[in-house]
Structure 1
Amino acid sequence: MKHFFGRLWIEWTIAISFLREGRAQSIMITVGVAVGVAVIVFVTALMQGLQSNIIQRTLGTQAHIRLLSPDDVNQIIAPAAGTLQLLQEDKRPQRLRSINNWQQITATLDQLPLLTAVSPVVSGPAFAQRGDALESVALVGIDVERYQKIIPLKEYLISGQLRVGADEVLIGSQLAEDLGVQVGSKLRLDTGQQNSAVVNIAGIFELGVRELDARYVYLDLKQAQSLLSLPGGVTVIDLTVADIFEAENVAAQVGRLTSLQAESWIKTNAQLMNAISAQSLSTSMIIVFVAISVAFGIASVLLVSVVQRTREIGILRATGATRQQILRIFLFQGAMFGLLGSVLGSVASYALVWVFNNFGPGLFYIPVSIDLIMLALLLAILTGVLAAAIPARRAAALDPVEAIRHV
């Protein structure tokens, strides 16, 4: 073992000596590798931060999974045997209806380890009126304690208190502006079913989505049930999961378990997921092209080094160096280019991220994980070794006699 490492030490020393002799070339290719690694780390971290921000903003205002009653369908009588039946079917209008046995379903879902929160909700259309101002709104009846685990409404409050019940409601900032109301103002809610109520505005929230801020009115679950003529019923059961990217699979399992219609955020935000996939693909292509450029740079420098040091290689072979040793000398050079370049590139990328996070536009935060740095480090070293393979094989294949005669 000691003899083995001793031989490697000799090859390592010769590799460093070759790099020192071509110092200008070594510095240039190391800087090139560093730039490549910095681009890979920074762009990858930037895309990860952007995607995380988009997903966080999207899921900050909606549940991961929504359970609804199955759609009403027409019951068609089968034709008699031996007869042909021609039908023109019109789909049935979907009425506001409650989920059957929602209490038992909620209790069952509370026990599932795949779910982190379960919240029954009753929602439906209504009109909000103050004086001559009239706006179409969506009533959302909630159990505050449960719903807070789905959407942290307290974090979105811009005025007032998180309080629903006893004729107190929360409304969006855009709706408050449209109606000209503020915390403490009164509002009439009318569902058009001869049900109406005058409520006090306990708080105003801003979810960051204009449509939601202009329409949502949060109120107590029981009051919403009364206004929407659904006594004791709920229209939706909102769920959250630990792994957001497993929401579609969990939705399928929950749908089979409850016989309800399960919609995951992935399905309802298909365009967003397509955009994220496209971003990931573009990032991967950038990484591949940068890695190829770095590999060509390392390979070209080492090929020139082989030509310049043909005589030295011949002398080494004549003094007993094996082909494998010559091969390892140039592979070590490639690995050193990758190692030094990746270290410098990682430092540079971290500096770029720090500048972006502290002096950038402040749109989102870019995290840099140690896993990403280590991956870039390994990628650079592997690229360096692979790029050095062809020059190394060429050097190892040189005939010592012909190499010594080389001028």
Structure 2
Amino acid sequence: MRLAFKIAARFLKSSKGQTILIVLGIAIGVSVQVFIGTLIQGLQKSLIDKTVGSSSQITVTSKNDNKVIKDWKSKIKDIKSLNVGINSVSAVADSSGFIKKGDKTEPILLRGVTFSAADSIYKISSNIVDGTKPSSDNEILVGKDLKKDMGLKLGDKVTILTPQGTRQEVKITGFYDLKVSSINKSWIITNLKTAQTIFNFGDNITSIEMQVDDVFKADIIAADIKSKLNESNLNVDNWKVENAATLSGLSGQSASSIMIQVFVLISVILGIASVLAITVMQKSKQLGILKAMGIKDRVASLIFLFEGLILGIFGAIFGVLIGLGLTYSFTKFALNPDGTPLVPLYFDYKFIVLSAFIAVASSTIAALIPAIKSSKLNPIEVIKNG
């Protein structure tokens, strides 16, 4: 085997121009795979982050007329006991109402949360643009768009009105920007107790919101949660049902990316196989002499398999470097109006390693045909017709 490797390396060195062209061909194929794959993954991650990255991916709600969930603490405990990839669980008490300041009144959704839990989903604390989050009852956060519409300031006292006729004066402690205009205009965020008191929920809540490690498994995890809770008066919804169009677009992107990569891979394999087949013809005299000196057919075959392996390794290394360079460059010149990358830089190292491995394996497999052809060479005929 060592002899076959040395001969393979010598053959490649003796035809440096041809070797460089093959390595370059493999590198271009790998770079296209890495560039397209990384670009699509970055685009998908960005889309997921914007769609459900900072929102509930699984939500438990009540089917009852009053929309409240009783004994919610034990239900959250049951959910957390499931080892299915749930990373955040937040209890929410919310309902529609109105906010009034002077002669201005706007419809709102008052959301009562436990900030330590809700932060892991909505990143509320990091999205406060002015002031601080509520530290006691009857304090609220207001979205920046609603602030602008109503001319609100920090420390202002406003009145929350409910459809049931309840009126509660609350104090504004901060303003937030969750990057969604409809939310910034309608959500009023407060602590759980304040919302429960204003809407007369008692110690009940209206929903349990969750995020998971793998967003594409949200439907499977939701089914596990529904089975665990086992209550007919509860709905367990997930983002995949609510965002079917987005999911379809992501699936289409993945399918197109895979197809492009497959066709690039096929072209690389055919190119390597054809060049190495020509090499067998070019090196037939040398192979004939080596066989006449006692080299076995198996060793002759290994020579070309090693050539394919060596070419694949160097092609994969250069291809990955070129692909990552192209991806990085793309994020520098393809920019949004605010200067942020059009597609965020995202490297999936497992995908990159897999692309390199596939390139090496494909290059080695492509060498099978010339390897088989070399093993069938008759040394006497080759030398005679040399």
- TM-score (norm. length: structure 2): 0.89
Q: Which residue is 1:81 aligned to?
A: none
Q: Does the Cα contact within 8 Å between 2:92 and 2:111 map onto a contact in 1? A: yes
Q: Which residue is 2:356 aligned to?
A: 377
Out of 143, 150, 175, which is 1:179 matched to? 150
Counterpart check, 1:167 vs 2:138: yes
- SS of match in other structure, 1:150: helix
What does residue range 339-354 of structure 1 map to in structure 2 within 5 Å?
339-354=313-328
- SS of match in other structure, 2:367: helix
Q: Which residue is 1:142 aligned to?
A: 113
Q: Does the Cα contact within 8 Å between 1:97 and 1:230 map onto a contact in 2? A: no
Q: Does the Cα contact within 8 Å between 1:164 and 1:170 map onto a contact in 2? A: no
Q: Does the Cα contact within 8 Å between 1:311 and 1:405 map onto a contact in 2? A: no
Counterpart check, 1:221 vs 2:192: yes
> Which string of whole-angstrom CA distances, capped at 9 and with x for unpartnered residues, describes residues 77-115 of structure 1?
xxxxxxxxxxxxxxxxxx442113324323444544444
Counterpart check, 1:265 vs 2:239: yes
**Where in structure 1 do 4 or more consecutive aligned residues deviate above 6 Å?**
none
> Which string of whole-angstrom CA distances, capped at 9 and with x for unpartnered residues, describes residues 236-263 of structure 1?
1123334444332222222223212111
Q: Which residue is 1:400 aligned to?
A: 379
Comparing 144-153 with 119-128, greater Cα deviation is found at 144-153
Q: Following the alignment from structure 2 to structure 1, what is the Cα–Cα distance between the partners of residues 124 and 35? A: 34
Q: Following the alignment from structure 1 to structure 2, what is the Cα–Cα distance between the partners of residues 310 and 113? A: 62
Q: Which residue is 1:41 aligned to?
A: 34
- SS of match in other structure, 1:27: helix
Q: Does the Cα contact within 8 Å between 1:136 and 1:215 map onto a contact in 2? A: yes
Aligned residue pairs total 377
Q: Following the alignment from structure 2 to structure 1, what is the Cα–Cα distance between the partners of residues 328 and 43? A: 15
Out of 158, 163, 166, which is 2:129 matched to? 158
> How far is 1:351 from its partner?
2.7
> How far is 1:292 from its partner?
0.9
Q: Following the alignment from structure 2 to structure 1, what is the Cα–Cα distance between the partners of residues 172 and 356? A: 56
Q: Which amino acid aligns with 1:141?
A: G
Q: Which residue is 1:294 aligned to?
A: 268
Q: Following the alignment from structure 1 to structure 2, what is the Cα–Cα distance between the partners of residues 21 and 104? A: 74
Q: Does the Cα contact within 8 Å between 1:33 and 1:294 map onto a contact in 2? A: yes
Q: Which amino acid aligns with 2:190?
A: L
Out of 161, 182, 198, which is 2:169 matched to? 198
- SS of match in other structure, 2:179: coil
Q: Following the alignment from structure 1 to structure 2, what is the Cα–Cα distance between the partners of residues 300 and 132? A: 81
> Which string of whole-angstrom CA distances, capped at 9 and with x for unpartnered residues, describes residues 51-71 of structure 1?
22332333343123211112x
Closer, same or farther: CA 112–401 of 1 in aligned 2, 3 Å: closer
- SS of match in other structure, 1:148: helix
RMSD in angstroms over aligned alpha carbons? 2.4
Counterpart check, 1:21 vs 2:26: no
- SS of match in other structure, 1:163: coil
Q: Which amino acid aligns with 2:48?
A: I
> Which string of whole-angstrom CA distances, capped at 9 and with x for unpartnered residues, describes residues 149-170 of structure 1?
3332101111111116432211
Q: Which residue is 2:70 aligned to?
A: 100
Q: Which residue is 1:366 aligned to?
A: 345
- TM-score (norm. length: structure 1): 0.84
Q: Following the alignment from structure 2 to structure 1, what is the Cα–Cα distance between the partners of residues 117 and 319? A: 47
Q: Which residue is 2:303 aligned to?
A: 329
Q: Which amino acid aligns with 1:53?
A: S
Identity %: 31
Q: Which residue is 2:49 aligned to?
A: 56
Q: Does the Cα contact within 8 Å between 1:96 and 1:124 map onto a contact in 2? A: no
Q: Does the Cα contact within 8 Å between 1:171 and 1:217 map onto a contact in 2? A: yes
Q: Following the alignment from structure 1 to structure 2, what is the Cα–Cα distance between the partners of residues 149 and 231? A: 25
Q: Which runs of 5+ in 1 are unaligned?
A: 1-7, 73-94
> Which string of whole-angstrom CA distances, capped at 9 and with x for unpartnered residues, describes residues 26-53 of structure 1?
1111111111112212222222222223
Q: Which residue is 1:125 aligned to?
A: 96
Q: Following the alignment from structure 1 to structure 2, what is the Cα–Cα distance between the partners of residues 125 and 347? A: 54
- SS of match in other structure, 2:188: strand
Q: Does the Cα contact within 8 Å between 1:331 and 1:388 map onto a contact in 2? A: yes
Comparing 281-290 with 397-406, greater Cα deviation is found at 397-406
> Which string of whole-angstrom CA distances, capped at 9 and with x for unpartnered residues, describes residues 339-394 of structure 1?
11111112222333444456653335423354334322221111111111112212
Q: Which residue is 2:211 aligned to?
A: 240
Q: Which amino acid aligns with 1:293?
A: S
Q: Following the alignment from structure 1 to structure 2, what is the Cα–Cα distance between the partners of residues 348 and 373? A: 12
Q: Following the alignment from structure 1 to structure 2, what is the Cα–Cα distance between the partners of residues 110 and 390? A: 56
Q: Following the alignment from structure 1 to structure 2, what is the Cα–Cα distance between the partners of residues 179 and 406? A: 95
Q: Which residue is 1:207 aligned to?
A: 178
> How far is 1:336 from its partner?
1.3
Q: Following the alignment from structure 2 to structure 1, what is the Cα–Cα distance between the partners of residues 87 and 12? A: 57
> How far is 1:195 from its partner?
1.4
Q: Which amino acid aligns with 1:61?
A: S
Counterpart check, 1:12 vs 2:5: yes
Q: Following the alignment from structure 1 to structure 2, what is the Cα–Cα distance between the partners of residues 265 and 288? A: 31
Counterpart check, 1:311 vs 2:281: no
Q: Following the alignment from structure 1 to structure 2, what is the Cα–Cα distance between the partners of residues 227 and 153? A: 22
Closer, same or farther: CA 104–316 of 1 in aligned 2, 3 Å: closer
Q: Following the alignment from structure 2 to structure 1, what is the Cα–Cα distance between the partners of residues 113 and 135? A: 9
